[in-house]
Amino acid sequence: MNPKYVSLWEPFRLPVSGIELKNRIIMAPMTTWSGNIDGTVSDAEIDYYRKRSGGVGVVATACAFIMPEGKGFSGQIGVHSDEMLPSLKRMVETIQNEGAKAILQIYHGGRMCPPNEVPGGQTLSASAVAAEREGAAVPRAMTEEEILATIKAYGNATRLAILAGFDGVEIHGANTYLIQQFFSPHSNRRTDAWGGTLEKRMKFPLAVVDEVLQNVKQYAKSPFAVGYRLSPEEMEEPGITMEDTLKLVDALAEKPMDYLHISTANFWGGSMRDASDKQSRPLLIQERVGNKIPVIGVGSLHTPDDVLKVVEEGNLPLVALGRELLMEPEWVQKTQNGSADKIRTTLSVHDQDELVIPDNLWHGLISRKGWLPVVDNE
């Protein structure tokens, strides 16, 4: 083992649940578009997770929709009914049998759902404001009853995750989806108790957290982790600012959760709202609340040296890898055994079978320009 990277392999104990992770590396949640039409996990997804669960300390799964109104992708898995339990148990066992902890990301897409994927073709959100993207549908503002039912659905998803045997859930409050839509002044124009002031825009995210924690208290018979993923800023005007987010993380840090996962495309990148602000957004959050709750960093951390810099210089305890584990499922093992120079840094168009990537995900990776360095090496 290369002693240079020894700090990456130190165990880490999550502070609330007490779950011990075998190392500091997490597989980031990534959509596969490869679930069965009924929301169950496909054989191809099972193989995909098995291939990537042997080295990392945690696998955070692709996001699972908590109710039919929140389905955001074709081929998305569901955690919306007891009928999903056999499928979810199969996923858990696959990940845990390879030595990683299994965390289910729970999700509602809100206005970002494709209309053809939700009941009646009508998307829902905090307010009837479309996303700023071409062809975006105008959602219907949720009623008070729908808001409360959605909060309950996050709790029910947590119950199902516990019954399935997951080690925890990650609340998906990032990447422009429903929870972020309630927090954002762009998508939340409400004038009732769920919108208006910053404190009112925080009410839905915090209510979801409380509901999840209540279900953990009620149903978990063994240690069960709860994390929260967030995006620090938005491009839109009005949109989420770093000042808004620091107030949110202050509130989240007071909740008995195990981590905050900061979703950024580039860990060391600065503000997306102010080009002159070069400060790393995850580092700002680490400085603000890292003494109260563990912070996970992610984003363009490709090499072992990149990850080491975040842990040792940034003082973050945990690092998530996404694209890196798509291209190199054995990223951790190769780093540990001194073969870091053999880590794949490109995606060959000929390596789908070797990398064990489901067809729908594979086609997305190959066709999405600029997300991965795709090569034809023949």
Residue 273 lies in a domain: yes
Residue 378 lies in a domain: no
* Overall average pLDDT of the 255-273 stretch: 98
Segments forming the whole domain that contains residue 263: 3-341
Give backbone dihedrals phi and psi of 58, rounded to 5 degrees, phi first: -140, 140
Residue 375 lies in a domain: no
Asked whether residue 213 carries a pLDDT value surpassing 90, the answer given is yes
Residue 271 pLDDT: 98
Q: Which has more confidence, 127 or 369?
A: 127
Instruction: Give the CATH number, domain containing residue 310.
Output: 3.20.20.70
Let me know if 350 is exposed, middle or buried by CB neighbors in 10 A (0-12, 13-18, 19+).
exposed
> What is the Cα–Cα distance from 60 to 55, expressed in whole angstroms?
13
For the stretch 228-262, pLDDT in tens is 999 999 999 999 999 999 999 999 999 999 999 99
Asked whether residue 377 carries a pLDDT value surpassing 90, the answer given is no
Residue 162 lies in a domain: yes
Residue 2 pLDDT: 80
Residue 348 lies in a domain: no
Task: Write the CB contacts of 142 (distance below 8 Å, at least 6 apart in sequence).
Answer: 124, 125, 126, 150
Instruction: Give how many domains the chain has, as a whole number.
Output: 1
Let me know if 189 is exposed, middle or buried by CB neighbors in 10 A (0-12, 13-18, 19+).
middle
Residue 374 lies in a domain: no
For the stretch 24-56, pLDDT in tens is 999 999 999 999 999 999 999 999 999 999 999
Residue 367 lies in a domain: no
For the stretch 134-171, pLDDT in tens is 999 999 999 999 999 999 999 999 999 999 999 999 99
Residue 48 lies in a domain: yes
70: DSSP letter = G
pTM: 0.98
